[in-house]
Amino acid sequence: MQCKKCGVIVPEGAFCLRCGWKQAQQPVASTLGAIHNRWKKRKHYRELSAKGKEGYDLAWKRLCVLSEKEIQRITFDEYQGVLDNMADEGLSKSTQEKVQQLVSQLNKLGIREGLLTVNLGQELVLEGRARKESLTFEDQHIPRMIEYAKSSENRYHHAAMVTLCLIFTAYRPEEFFHIRCEDLDPAVPILVAGSKTEAGKNRMVPILSVIRPYIEKWYLSCPIRNGKREGYLVRGPKGGKKDLGNWRAREFYPMTLELGINQPNQLNQKRKVPHITPYSARHTFATLAYRADVDKEALSKMVGHLSFETTHRFYIHSELEAMRREANKIESYLAEKMPFNIETKI
């Protein structure tokens, strides 16, 4: 018989006398589609954020053209052909990168199951168009949103509050919506969240005075169970985690239109015309911090782009104070450049 791992002809038996492989270990189904189904049941996929899962699911829509092929028989050129077709369509490198990451994940599982010996995903070449430069909120947009958020009579005041929190924390929307009340300590004015990268896991961001009233309002509205507040800090209509897609479509973009932050033509042609997105808040934080001369190391830790150990939920007191001082520079910069009242009592 032929060994299913090393390929040499060996005597019939449970083990290959050449490489020691257990012949009975090969899964019954070994198509790329079957591997993909098994991978989605693994811990790596199950613990992804909703946005992370969405990215991989969209990548699979491109890769599924190979789903019926046995993973051992899929060649490098076939994987590369999927990416080349995406490049021909003008899709970005970041979009292709997600497909490459999925190929790599499925190949790793194939190797783990003894079906493959090489991860072809690591060799793929990305040639899509460069990612569009992200827009940031303009300076005048911030006081405009602060005033708008003060009154519940304004239809999208909640969207303005959330957006301001994103601007002054640098959290991605999906990270912010994942924060739970039981993870907050009212005596310590910081938020701890983040999950996309190793550097971003459980990163700490001071709660600046401009957004503190919003955080306090949401925290105090959390239900109390067993003597403490529980549940998501920002909740959906039924009390669960707020859905990012619905918030973006039904609250964020309508708010930007009402405040003149985005124009109708920008939102009617999103794929072609640059416009402000929820992710623009993160870029705005970084831009404001740079202008305010925030310490680069502190900024990296708040944004989550520096690999460092996060073995403790909170940093030592001296580091917390240093980070808070750096974050406060952003408010000082805004107050100097465009004086506005940061009192946001609601």
Q: Residue 334 pLDDT more than 80?
A: no
**With bands split at pLDDT 50, 70 and 90, how would you rate the model's confidence at 307?**
very low
Provide the token pair at 38: 């098994």
Return the closest-CA partner of residue 79 out of 91, 67, 95, 92.
67
User: Across-strand partners of 129?
Assistant: 92
Q: Are the C-beta atoms of residues 195 and 175 closer than 8 Å to each other?
A: yes
Q: Are the C-beta atoms of residues 241 and 167 closer than 8 Å to each other?
A: no
Sequence-separated (6 or more) residues with CB below 8 Å from residue 139: 334, 337, 338
Asked which of 47-61, 129-143, 273-287 is least confident by mean pLDDT, the reply is 129-143
Sign of CA dihedral 49, 55, 61, 65: negative
How far is residue 343's CA from residue 335's CA, in Å, rounded to a whole number?
12
How far is residue 346's CA from residue 344's CA, in Å, rounded to a whole number?
6
pLDDT of residue 150: 93
How far is residue 299's CA from residue 289's CA, in Å, rounded to a whole number?
7
pLDDT of residue 134: 64
How far is residue 103's CA from residue 94's CA, in Å, rounded to a whole number?
14
**With bands split at pLDDT 50, 70 and 90, how would you rate the model's confidence at 3?**
low
pLDDT of residue 185: 84
How far is residue 149's CA from residue 121's CA, in Å, rounded to a whole number?
47
How far is residue 89's CA from residue 99's CA, in Å, rounded to a whole number?
15
Q: What is the mean pLDDT of the chain?
A: 80
Provide the token pair at 340: 């506005």
Overall average pLDDT of the 284-294 stretch: 83
Q: Taking CA 139 as the corner, what is the angle to CA 135 and CA 142, rounded to the nearest 5 degrees?
A: 100
Q: Are the C-beta atoms of residues 63 and 81 closer than 8 Å to each other?
A: no
Q: Taking CA 15 as the corner, what is the angle to CA 1 and CA 115, rounded to the nearest 5 degrees?
A: 75
How far is residue 315's CA from residue 204's CA, in Å, rounded to a whole number?
8
pLDDT of residue 107: 93
